[in-house]
Amino acid sequence: MQLPVFSDVESAQQWVRAHAEREPRLAGEALFIIARIYAEDRGDQKTADLCAARTIELFGRCPMQTLEECAACFTTILGKALPSIIHEDVVLWHFPNARQYMRR
């Protein structure tokens, strides 16, 4: 699958909604960047934490035991770089308050 290129946050959010079930890893990476945009660029920490909690949920559906499995598929999305290694703990490090929005 070719990685999508997004023109704005809204198009990225639409892609995440459409592909979360089939491509949870890619959707999680895109949603992590969306969370960063809400936190860093829009000053909306609550929405950022909600996106981060959903990212963790998506990553929880993916194998992430090896470095290869944790390597980011995207390098950048909407001008923001992803960490080269990304998994649930990385998301929680960036968004510690996401825990309160996680489903139990």
pLDDT at 100: 94
CA distance 62 to 77: 20
CA distance 66 to 61: 15
pLDDT at 2: 79
Could you tell me if residue 1 is inside a domain? no
Query: Domain range for residue 40?
Result: 9-101
Per-residue pLDDT tens, the chain, 104 aa: give them: 678 999 999 999 999 999 999 999 999 999 999 999 999 999 999 999 999 999 999 999 999 999 999 999 999 999 999 999 999 999 999 999 999 999 86
**Paired sense of beta strands 80-81 and 76-77, if any:** antiparallel
Q: How many residues does the chain have?
A: 104
Q: How many domains does the chain have?
A: 1
DSSP assignment string, the chain: -PPP--SSHHHHHHHHHHHTTT-HHHHHHHHHHHHHIIIIIS--HHHHHHHHHHHHHHHTTS--SSHHHHB-S-SEETTEEPPSB--HHHHHHH-GGGGGGS--
pLDDT at 103: 80
Could you tell me if residue 3 is inside a domain? no
pLDDT at 104: 65
pLDDT digit string, tens, across residues 79-98: 999 999 999 999 999 999 99
Could you tell me if residue 78 is inside a domain? yes
- Cα within 13 Å of Cα(12), Cβ side: 26
Could you tell me if residue 68 is inside a domain? yes
Could you tell me if residue 4 is inside a domain? no
Could you tell me if residue 2 is inside a domain? no
CA distance 104 to 99: 10
Could you tell me if residue 88 is inside a domain? yes
